[in-house]
Amino acid sequence: MDLLYSSTRNSEKKITASQAILKGLADDGGLFVPESIPALDVSVEELSKMSYQQVAYEVMKLFLTDFTEEELKNCINRAYDSKFDTTEIAPLKFADGAYYLELFHGSTIAFKDMALSILPHLLITSAKKNNVKNEIVILTATSGDTGKAAMAGFADVEGTQIIVFYPKNGVSPIQEKQMLTQKGANTHVVGIHGNFDQAQSAVKAMFNDKALAETMDAAGYQFSSANSINIGRLVPQIVYYVYAYSKLFAQRAVAKDEKINIVVPTGNFGNILAAFYAKNMGLPVAKLICASNENKVLYDFFTTGEYDKNREFILTNSPSMDILISSNLERLIYRIAGNDANKNAQLMASLAKDGKYTVTPEMKEKLSDFYGNYTSEKETAEVIKKLYEDTGYIIDTHTAVAAGVYDKYKEATGDTATKTVIASTASPFKFTRSVMDAIDPKYDSMTDFELVDELSKLGNVKVPNAIEEIRDAKILHNTVCDVDQMENTVKKMLGVQ
């Protein structure tokens, strides 16, 4: 029996995993969720002897049940190969009492690579399985990291086009240069005069526009999504939590069934939702610690039960978390509503209309798996500096937000004993200026690439390929548009009238 998927806003229509991957978002605007969360069917002893690719297969086969073993293994082996600069794929580094799970060893040095290196293969396999003839157009809104990782994954993949929208003034200089130098005849990058939420809302609106879908279909195109709303991104993200636990077990850092905490620097709620799914699969997890930057809408939600996006959008030094509408939270809301699509749809309608909703006391009680807090800009810089001075280990701004919240969690709860994994979501080389500024203001006068070399010396780590590549790379994209021109830009780029 296949595990089927339905929308968080209507559970009547059920589709297979490959169909959900192809569609990205449900027609009613909801997100696809599996009917149930499957339980892991291998023991931690077995997992602890496996490679990353083997663990990936054990986890993903349970969710993507309409893929054959050969199809799935093929996708996995093509994704997690020498694009990663370590055969471990996601190594754990111990520093100052916590295990940093380094998710940034892929081709664009952010954790998005963990899922976006496999998504194109899952998508192309899904298209074949479902006899899709149209060319697939990936529309993606990015807060900085998804865009590059998605383009790196989809560049020159036959049968696909990819169009990325990013906030023109809301990403780091290195992030922007990484995107604007992207090669591949099927890649398109557009800066918008607006923020990430506006980009994401406009992209979702295009997905939901039936007339637009018909126009595209007539021209031989159909849209899909590389954003974390796509189940094909969420499922590969569950893998590294299972992998991390099995590595801790292999190192005897945890005993069998010993629970760990997981801290995740959160924006769109995709990464931490994957950790929640891992817990529901049976992984021994105590608290899921949700870390926000000054855009602390999730902290307020976990504290009060009210989600309210009506507030100032703050540009921070952890730009990939500058988000006020955390799309994947909808999957959690659906879950704590008792998998009740109607109840969830009502709350989402209220979010669309008033920019806020409040969950019931019973729903709020079911959030006890989570602890939420936030780290201010000033605290984030202090965390980077202190960890560097105490241990020599240099972390990026997003990871520092998580480390800062972990400190607050320990202080608030007194729980210093539970072994804790912190998701380290980006290489410090991606946010070099903020990181170096935090360590010492004297670096202020250096250029971005001088800072890269300085960081390499200071942290005693080689400059990643992803950075070397863009030093002298040519800018290949220069389109900028207003938010209300995004649809026209898509049509123009595809030559559709």
Ligand X SMILES: *Cc1c(COP(=O)(O)O)cnc(C)c1O
Contacting positions for ligand X (CB under 6 A): 110-112, 145, 228, 265-271, 320-321, 398, 425-426
What is the smallest separation between the CB atom of 184 and ligand X, expressed in angstroms? 21
**Residue 370 bridge partners (DSSP):** 288
Q: Of 232 and 267, which CB lies nearer to ligand X in the complex structure?
A: 267
What is the smallest separation between the CB atom of 109 and ligand X, expressed in angstroms? 9
What is the smallest separation between the CB atom of 104 and ligand X, expressed in angstroms? 8
What is the smallest separation between the CB atom of 269 and ligand X, expressed in angstroms? 5
What is the smallest separation between the CB atom of 200 and ligand X, expressed in angstroms? 11
What is the smallest separation between the CB atom of 215 and ligand X, expressed in angstroms? 30
Alpha-carbon distance of 327 to 188, in angstroms, equals 24
Q: Of 160 and 293, which CB lies nearer to ligand X in the complex structure?
A: 293
What is the smallest separation between the CB atom of 125 and ligand X, expressed in angstroms? 23
What is the smallest separation between the CB atom of 335 and ligand X, expressed in angstroms? 17
Alpha-carbon distance of 411 to 389, in angstroms, equals 21
Alpha-carbon distance of 120 to 140, in angstroms, equals 13
Q: Of 111 and 249, which CB lies nearer to ligand X in the complex structure?
A: 111
Q: Of 198 and 425, which CB lies nearer to ligand X in the complex structure?
A: 425
Provide the Cα torsion 71, 72, 74, 75; round to 10°. 120
* Residue that has been written with the tokens 């997690």 in this structure: 80
Alpha-carbon distance of 406 to 48, in angstroms, equals 26
What is the smallest separation between the CB atom of 167 and ligand X, expressed in angstroms? 14
Q: Of 6 and 293, which CB lies nearer to ligand X in the complex structure?
A: 293
What is the smallest separation between the CB atom of 128 and ligand X, expressed in angstroms? 28
Amino acid letter, 233 = R
Q: Of 66 and 379, which CB lies nearer to ligand X in the complex structure?
A: 379
314 C-beta neighbours (distance < 10 Å), count: 12
**Residue 225 bridge partners (DSSP):** 139
| Residues in CB range of 57: below 8 A, 6 or more apart | 69, 72, 73, 76
Task: Convert the chain into a string of H (helix), E (strand) and C (coil).
Answer: CCCCEEECCEEEEEECHHHHHHHCECCCCCEEEECCCCCCCCCHHHHCCCCHHHHHHHHHHHHCCCCCHHHHHHHHHHHCCCCCCCCCCCCEEEECCEEEEECCCCCCCECHHHHHCCHHHHHHHHHHHCCCCCEEEEEEECCCCHHHHHHHHHCCCCCEEEEEEEECCCCCHHHHHHHHCCCCCCEEEEEEECCHHHHHHHHHHHHCCHHHHHHHHHCCEEEEECCCCCHHHHHHHHHHHHHHHHHHHHCCCCCCCCCEEEEEECCCCHHHHHHHHHHHCCCCEEEEEEEECCCCHHHHHHHHCEEECCCCCCCCCCHHHCCCCCCCHHHHHHHHCCCCHHHHHHHHHHHHHHCEEECCHHHHHCCCCEEEEECCHHHHHHHHHHHHHHHCCCCCHHHHHHHHHHHHHHHHHCCCCCCEEEEECECHHHHHHHHHHHHCHHHHHCCHHHHHHHHHHHHCCCCCHHHHHHHCCCCCCCEEEEHHHHHHHHHHHHCCC
* Residue 112 bears catalytic tag: yes
Q: Of 194 and 265, which CB lies nearer to ligand X in the complex structure?
A: 265
Q: Of 6 and 271, which CB lies nearer to ligand X in the complex structure?
A: 271
Longest dimension (CA), the chain: 62
Q: Of 108 and 161, which CB lies nearer to ligand X in the complex structure?
A: 108
Q: One of 23, 112, 279, 430 is an active-site residue; which one?
A: 112
Catalytic residue ranges? 112
